[in-house]
Structure 1
Amino acid sequence: MRLRLPDLMTCAAALALSGCIASTPAPEVSPRPEQRAMAPAPSSESAAFARYYRSVEARLVGDGLLRTDGGVTDAPFTAAMLAANFERIALYDEYALIGGRFVQQQTPSRLRRWEQPVRIQAHFGASVSADQRAEDRSILSTYATRLARATRHPISTVSSGGNFHVLYLNRDDQLTAGDLVRRLVPGAGPEVIAEIENLPRSTFCAVYAFSETGGRPVYVAAIAIIRDEHPSLLRRSCVHEEVAQGLGLPNDSPSVRPTIFNDDEEFALLTPHDELLLRMLYDRRLQPGLRPGEDRATIRQIAEELIGGPS
């Protein structure tokens, strides 16, 4: 139900799916004064989206899903499980670019992460009210602090000069988001623009991460899309998952638990297990470019250190 993409190929036809953008910073983009002053009434389509997502959240919560407890009491895992889960989530992609479209197809990939500090910047469509913007910024700031603690990598929120852009858009904003995306990430290709502007209702949120042209498999920019029509728990869940995925955990797996990297929607928020995956991802003993099956002894050693011994 959510869309999570590998780092994106935007300037070369190759199967590696490594993103390609220039290293020059994107210009600062701010909403026009009239956008800040008054949120326009949503279209009938956007209003229908809001009703749909409210019903989805209510159904999931009623079914015992979208849990916020982290699974610490009923989903134990061993070091061996953590090591296997890391390989499945960090070293595989959930989507592939085929014929100019992103298709859900798990494929072996390589380890990718950020090396420069991650500066998370929120951007809001005209639909987002002032009160909602304040709440979203607070949630994003608190989450960035948690991610920095988990990864031991510099991650913070900024009001300008961001390189990880979180766009809060309703359906009406989404349909014309291409110009904003091109200004934020000038190298974003037509496939990315088309996907963002045409995300179907069944896709709750999305993230797109980019590497430099011809460079190592390290991220230099990312864009996450969060729907303004979401009620509070789905909205927060999308922020948790897409920002974490944009740090370098691109895959989902039905066999991994307890995690937000799983389409069964059992957990709404980043779990303690997921924090360990992030710690492993940013451990300097693992290098960008690592592929499935490589250096498993080191992966297992790191997992055992985090768990507290072999298990």
Structure 2
Amino acid sequence: MDSRSRTRGLTSLAMPPLPIAFMLFVVGLLAALPARAGPESFTAEELIEGFNNTVFGLEYRSWSWQPYLVKKYVTPVRFRIHSLSQRNRTAAVEAFLAELPRKIPALDARLAAPDEEANFNIFVVDRAGYLPTVRGEIYADETAEAPGRCLVRVESGRRGITGSSAVIVSDEGEFLFRRCLVEEVLQGLGPMNDDPRLTHSVFNDTSRHSRFTAFDQILLNMLYDRRVRPGMDRSELEPLLPIIARDARRRVQ
């Protein structure tokens, strides 16, 4: 929350003194919340390390024979939402997807029209439908495993990502739904690895973030910089990344 938001949240109403135990509880609760760092707080070295650790690698490496090459869309991304859960989450998914072109200006992304082919499918399911959806819609294999609490599968090659499919669980709480939505959709755009050292990122299964953080916005803007091409390896990008990180940070507000 920025200082302007804090100011708007204050009132002139006088409050009675609070018990010390309650004040300590509030302080502890606030300390447990994930920090909201702005783009200017990250060094170029932190951003480059985060980029390398998420873009060059795969959380589940058996899914690709090119885990250490850049994966990104070079064609427009067209989403289709498949609402298969008891609770209709379509509006929440659409609201998040609508943020992406604004936060990643180089990304051409929107919902697919009814008669338009989608290349990024999002299946929203209840937990009971998770495994059947992964086996039937993602792999077309009745023996396939479904690792994790939600997942995304990406099909890619040297010319870029050709398709992504995410499965998001709806009925295990708001935090898990939001976390799965943000992480799996963003990973479906290319940065497919997790790293426990990335404290300001959803690309870290131990973090408590459930939003598109400033750190992750910079990483996605780095990936979708025109100088970053599908199939590039780490050595090809190394001399460019300091400039790309600087430019990406300026694009994130």
Partner of 1:204: 149
With over 3 angstroms needed to count, the CA separation of the structure-2 counterparts of 1:142 and 1:221, relative to structure 1, is same
With over 3 angstroms needed to count, the CA separation of the structure-2 counterparts of 1:70 and 1:220, relative to structure 1, is farther
Q: Separation in 1 of the partners of 2:119 and 2:249?
A: 33
Partner of 2:111: 157
Partner of 1:145: 98
Structure 1 residue runs of 4 or more that deviate by more than 4 Å after TM superposition: none
Tell me by how many angstroms 1:190 deviates.
Answer: 3.7
| Residues 111, 217 of structure 1: 8 Å contact kept | no
Q: Which structure 1 segments of 5+ residues have no match? A: 1-60, 183-187
1:125-144, aligned counterparts within 5 Å?
Answer: 125=84, 128-129=85-86, 132-133=87-88, 136-144=89-97
With over 3 angstroms needed to count, the CA separation of the structure-2 counterparts of 1:306 and 1:219, relative to structure 1, is closer
Amino acid at match of 1:93: L
1:1-311, aligned counterparts within 5 Å?
Answer: 64=32, 67=34, 70-72=36-38, 76-97=41-62, 109-125=68-84, 128-129=85-86, 132-133=87-88, 136-151=89-104, 152-158=106-112, 160=114, 161-177=117-133, 180-181=136-137, 188=139, 190=141, 194-196=144-146, 199=147, 203-211=148-156, 216-307=158-249
Q: Which structure 2 segments of 5+ residues have no match? A: 1-28
With over 3 angstroms needed to count, the CA separation of the structure-2 counterparts of 1:204 and 1:159, relative to structure 1, is farther
| Residues 201, 207 of structure 2: 8 Å contact kept | no
Amino acid at match of 2:96: Y
Question: Quick check: which has more Rg, 1 or 2?
Answer: 2
| Residues 210, 219 of structure 1: 8 Å contact kept | yes
With over 3 angstroms needed to count, the CA separation of the structure-2 counterparts of 1:168 and 1:290, relative to structure 1, is same
**Larger deviation: 292-301 or 150-159?**
150-159
With over 3 angstroms needed to count, the CA separation of the structure-2 counterparts of 1:112 and 1:227, relative to structure 1, is same
Amino acid at match of 1:143: F
Q: Deviations over 1:145-204 (max 9, x none)?
A: 22222322111123643221111122332343267516xxxxx4649x7124xx4xxx22
Amino acid at match of 1:204: R
Q: Report the identity percentage.
A: 28
Amino acid at match of 1:162: A
With over 3 angstroms needed to count, the CA separation of the structure-2 counterparts of 1:220 and 1:147, relative to structure 1, is same
Amino acid at match of 1:267: H
**Larger deviation: 234-243 or 217-226?**
217-226
Highest RCO, 1 vs 2 (Cα 8 Å, sep ≥ 6): 1
With over 3 angstroms needed to count, the CA separation of the structure-2 counterparts of 1:217 and 1:241, relative to structure 1, is same
Q: Separation in 2 of the partners of 1:307 and 1:261?
A: 18
Amino acid at match of 2:108: P
| Residues 159, 231 of structure 2: 8 Å contact kept | yes
Tell me by how many angstroms 1:114 deviates.
Answer: 0.8
Q: Separation in 2 of the partners of 1:244 and 1:267?
A: 13
With over 3 angstroms needed to count, the CA separation of the structure-2 counterparts of 1:224 and 1:89, relative to structure 1, is same
Tell me by how many angstroms 1:63 deviates.
Answer: 8.4
Tell me by how many angstroms 1:294 deviates.
Answer: 2.5
With over 3 angstroms needed to count, the CA separation of the structure-2 counterparts of 1:179 and 1:204, relative to structure 1, is closer
Q: What TM-score do the two structures reach when normalised by structure 2?
A: 0.75
| Residues 252, 262 of structure 1: 8 Å contact kept | yes
The structure where helix makes up a greater share of residues is 2
